Amino acid sequence: MKIISLNVEGQKHLSRVREFLVRENADVVCLQEYFPETRENLLSDYPYYFFVPTYKVDQDQNGLKHSATRVWGELIASKVAFKHTEVRRVTMDDYGSEYLPSYPQDNHLPSLLVVELVNDMKVATIHFTWTPNGTVTPRQNRHIKELLEMTKGEELIICGDFNVPRGNEMYHELRKVWQDNIPERIESTIDPKLHYANKKQEGKLKLVVDYAWSTPKYQVRDVRVECGISDHCAVIAEVLRSR
């Protein structure tokens, strides 16, 4: 089964994202910072769809800023039917069940979307807690513990924009439990040109923060990273169940 994970940054890169998804023709697509009104444009070939809002955003149809009246979030879309879907909010103590943060707050509401497919594969995605310059904060540390507790003992593929640079202490907490399938040769999943931090100096910010983690039940192979699509690079992987 072919899986794609990509932070699409709202509608700023819509045509590039659409061309990429059509070309790759994955079985399952996990998107972060996704506007649900773009479904017909991006995901018309995917009949099964699970979206959860996480942030009130200040980006309009042309990528311009205005008051926070729109909502984006995380998505799992599939060509394989769903058996079960579930959302697990990581930060209920911060926001409460009915509240979504909005601009100019710098943190969305991290939410784990979990989908069990009819082929018995379980796929999850998340846009995890942002921190300045990839540092570790007490809030992110606490959320890592919550995330690991809510998935304890669970067999799944979990992908997304984690905002956790490979090699830091939060990464090593995740690595104790899950397999990191991003090849070691990959130096960054931040787009060298399209990310705001690289607009003035190409490739200035280099961090691996997007992942396709797995537990022992699954084999993840042929993992690659493709840039030039959005402000983050896409992660593409083939997934099989281990015997």
- Considering only CA atoms, which of 185, 229, 224 is closest in space to residue 206? 185
- DSSP tag of 81: P
- Reported as a pLDDT band with limits 50, 70 and 90, residue 57 is confident
* Cis status, amide bond into 47, omega within 30 of 0: no
- Reported as a pLDDT band with limits 50, 70 and 90, residue 119 is very high
- Reported as a pLDDT band with limits 50, 70 and 90, residue 208 is very high
Which tens digit of pLDDT belongs to each residue from 160-171?
Answer: 999 999 999 999
Cα radius of gyration (the chain): 17
Q: With beta carbons less than 8 A apart as the criterion, state whether 160 and 32 touch.
A: yes
User: Residue 64 above 60 pLDDT?
Assistant: no
pLDDT of 132 reads 87
What SS3 state is found at 53?
A: strand
Distance CA 81, CA 110 (A): 25
- Reported as a pLDDT band with limits 50, 70 and 90, residue 154 is very high
User: Residue 49 above 90 pLDDT?
Assistant: yes
pLDDT of 74 reads 96
Residues 6+ apart with CB under 8 A from 34: 8, 10, 51, 72, 73, 74, 75
Q: With beta carbons less than 8 A apart as the criterion, state whether 174 and 164 touch.
A: yes
Domains in the chain, CATH or no CATH each: 2-241 (3.60.10.10)
Mean pLDDT of the chain: 91
User: Residue 104 above 70 pLDDT?
Assistant: no
**Percent of the residues in the chain that have a pLDDT greater than 70, as a whole number:** 89
pTM: predicted TM-score of the whole model, two decimal places: 0.93
Which tens digit of pLDDT belongs to each residue from 75-99?
Answer: 999 999 999 999 998 876 555 555 6
pLDDT of 30 reads 98
Residues 6+ apart with CB under 8 A from 168: 134, 136
- Considering only CA atoms, which of 56, 54, 41 is closest in space to residue 91? 54
